Every structure is written in C-alpha cells, then in structure tokens.
Amino acid sequence: MERAAFALAGAVARELRARRGRVVGGVVVLLVGPGNNGGDALHAGAVLRRRGVDVLALALADRVHDEGRAALLAAGGRVLVVDDVDIAVDRARGADVLVDGILGIGARAGGLTGGAGALVERLDASRDEGAPVVVAVDTPSGIGVDDGSVSGPVLRADRTVTFGGSKPGLVLPPAAHLTGVLEVVDLGLALPDEPAVVRLEDRDAAALWPVPGPDAHKYTRGVVGVVAGARRYPGAAVLATSAAVLAGVGMVRYLGDVGDLVVARRPEVVVGPGRVQAWVFGPGVSPDDAAQRRRIEHAFEGVLHRGEPAVVDAGALELLPEHVPTHVVLTPHAGELARLLSDRGHRVTRAEVEHHPLRSARLAHELTGATVLLKGHVTLVVGAGGAVYAQAAAPAWLATAGAGDVLAGLLGAMLAGRADDVVEDPTLTAAVAAAAALVHGRAADVSNPGGPVTARGVALALPETVRALLADA
C-alpha cells in the first residue's frame, strides 16, 4: 500500500502543479470508502500533507481504513464523517483536486448507492471550468470493473491511477469514457498469463499487416470481392472499394449495379465475378434489393463451403446464415447489433447494447460463431476463445457518414492478404479486426489532425498511415 500511496500522491501533486503552479498550499479532498482504495487515498493524503498540502478526507462509510486514517491524522490532515450531503458537496467543490477512493475492485455489483451515490451525482452534475480535478484510485467508483458497465452514478475522472495492471473496465465502454488519462503503476504483482482484454498498439498492428514479399504478385497479395452499394447509395460502393485499393490489397473485384461509378473513381477495380480470397458484404445494401441479395447469398456459399473470410456489414447483417466460421467478421453499430440479437430471439434495444456492449458482442459471437466488431468510439472485437480487444484510437470526428464503409473495405483487404492465416488460426481474425480498427482511427487523424474528417479523406489517408505504421515498427 505504501508504494501505491506514493504513486497516487505523485499523480495528485502533478495535477496541483498544473492547476496552481505549485504543490504547497493546494487543497485536496479525499472521498473515502471502507476498502483498500480508501486506504490508498488516506495514505496518499498523509504524503501530500507532509508536502504542505491542505488535506481533508470525507469519510463516506461508518468505518474507513484504520491505518490510513491514523497516518493522515498524524500528518496533520483532517477526517470528516459525512452525514450531510450538502456540507460534503460544499467542501468537495472547494478543492483543487478531488481523490475518488470510494469503491474498488472488490465492491459488490450495483454501483454507488445511498449518501455516496447522492454525493457523486451532485458533484458530477456540477462539473464546470472551475471544478476540481478528479483523480480516481484504481478505478472510478461505480463502474463495472470486469465489463465496463455503468449502473449508477460515477464521478468522471480526469486521471485514473491504477495499480499492478489495467483493469478491463478501464478500457471497455461505456466506462472507458469516464476514466480520463489512465496511469498504470507497476507494483511488481504477478499478472495473469492471458489478459482479459487486449488493446493493440501501433507495433502490434504493423506486425499483423500483410506486407508483400519480393516474390509477391497480385493474387498472392490477396483479392477481395466487394458486394456493396446500389443506385440509391452508390457512395458506399465507392468508399468500400477505394479503402480496399488504398490499403494495398492485390486486387479488388466489385459486384453490384454501380460498377461504372466505382471504376470512374477507382480504375484499378475489376467489375464482375472471378477469383476471390475474402469478401466484403453489405455497405450501402438494402435487404430488399433483390439483385444484391442474390449476389450476397451466392457469395456466402463460398464462405461456408470454401472457407473464404468475409466482412459482413450494414444490410448484409440481415442476410447472415444461422452459423458461420470465426473468420467471418460482423461489423455492426449498436442499433444493428440490437436488431441482429432480437431477430435471433434475444430482444434488446439499442440503449441496452450501448450500456452493455461487451455482453451484447459476446452474445452475438455465441449465437453466430462469427467474430464481432462492434463499432463505437471504443471499438470492441470479440472472437474465438473468448478473445476481447478494445481499440480507442479513433477521434470523435470519425462518427461520420461513410466511415463504416471505409472500415469494411480496409478490413476486407487485410483479411484477403491474410486469408490462409486466419482460416488456419481461428484466433487471428479478432486480432486482424482490431488492427483494422486501429488503422482506421489513425487514418482519420492523418487526414485532418484535430479537425473534421470525411470518409473519403480517411480512405485517401490510408497509404500514408500504413507507411508510417510500418516505418515505426
């Protein structure tokens, strides 16, 4: 606990210095619950008090960590047992930094309740430019530590200082949006051999990228077939094929009614059937489009009988066979996933998927056999063997029309380039899908750093994004 306390105190001191220009004279209020997180907060408060910080602990339980309480009092800090929420809110709002040590990983399900819940709800509702900086101990109190769920009030953290290793709930949505800057403190603890959740970094994506060798030709580099778009939605076909071309696949074949428009934008694309190593189904396709429906259903025969990998997006999700191999990747947003689950006998709403995205994606994987990529600000991928990936590299600007079409084409290109590998190793598909999500987000940043992006701009940024990714690996 001493190492954790010193690390936590250091993080709070940095926030004080950033806010005030110095540590001495700062005001820190600790929100303290009954467990070890409260103990860490109290011990950190004692360290800060010895550095000249005014430290007040608001005890939100009948009993708090005895040694931590004694350490803070011995250092000259104060402890106030909260029996009036109004007084506690007033004291907390007067701080430079609030330290959230209410609940930790051992807390029971159900989140914050009672006086602690009321206090947190009041404080979070009053966050403004002058509000205290919030530093969470290990996890923001009230989040689902194992699945990132949020079932009650949570005080949004500006920084979370977690110990030993990151917890799943800190990187899984929706709780991932509440953690702020994540700081992991190594305490020398033994960690599990297999992580519960994986977040790929650039070097991981580079290692998964299908880089051509000196003897490569267009067929060994992969051929992706794209069944997308319609006269009503021609842009989806253009975007999906463009992304596949610009991601560096050996060849793109297009099947659909807007081949003339596709070739006008991307003359590299071949229109018509032929040899294919992976598929992209669905961008811009309506399930009532009889011609595209027939094309997709016919192509699914190859997926099921010849083992071709595939990306199933948008309108094609409603045409999905009952069960498919793991090297088929579904790419729904929350609303589409809710419809897919409901159509298979599990009635859920979009809001329920958004509140419990991991549970929903896991259920879709169990029902279909497919790898599931649930799109969002934090993109989740669930695959073979229970593998879970959470990618959060995408800027919020990427929530724009056509971005999903670009992701589908990009992922299809990657699957075509790694077709033999993903068929041979069922666990690899989820990693490739997560890498595609990472590259998609990076390309959005490259296309217009810090500003608005378009789907076309993201597609055009793919060559530079991939070049930089491989150069830095």
Distance from chain centroid for Cα 335 = 17
Please name the residues in contact with 392: beta carbons below 8 A apart, sequence gap of 6 or more: 171, 176, 199, 377, 378, 379, 441
CA–CA separation, 22 and 163 (whole Å): 26
What are the Cα distances from residue 399, in Å, to 164, 225, 253, 316, 363?
A: 34, 26, 27, 21, 25
**Placement of tokens 């029996």 in the chain:** 83
Q: Is 114 annotated as a binding residue?
A: no
Written as six digits, the tokens of 41 are 């907060």
Q: Could you give the CA distance from residue 169 to residue 148 in angstroms, rounded to a whole number?
A: 4
- Is 35 annotated in some ligand binding site? no
Rounded to 10°, the helix 403-417/428-447 angle is 130
CB neighbours of 283 closer than 8 A, spacing ≥ 6?
A: 226, 228, 229, 236, 237, 239, 240, 313, 314, 404, 405, 408, 409
As given in the structure block, the two tokens for residue 46 are: 């004692």
Coil, helix or strand at residue 333: coil
Residue 405, marked binder = yes
Give the number of other CB atoms < 10 A from CB of residue 367. 18
- 284 annotated as a binding-site residue: yes
Strands 133-137 and 97-101: parallel
CB 437 within 8 A of CB 381: yes
307: alpha, beta or left? (left if phi > 0; alpha if psi -120 to 50): left
Q: To the nearest 10°, the Cα dihedral for 73, 76, 79, 80?
A: 150
Cβ-proximal residues to 400 (8 Å cutoff; 6+ apart), any chain = 452, 453, 454, 455
Is 259 flagged in the annotation as binding?
no
106 is annotated as contributing to ligand binding: no
Please check whether residue 219 is in contact with residue 252, taking contact to mean a CB–CB distance below 8 angstroms.
no
Strand partners, 444: none
User: Does the annotation place 52 within a ligand binding site?
Assistant: no
Q: Is 377 known to sit in a ligand binding site?
A: yes
> Contact, 130 vs 90, CB < 8 A?
no
Q: Which residues are annotated as a binding site?
A: 236, 284, 333, 375-379, 404-405
Q: Which residues are annotated as a binding site for (6S)-NADPHX?
A: 236, 284, 333, 405
Q: Which residues are annotated as a binding site for AMP?
A: 375-379, 404
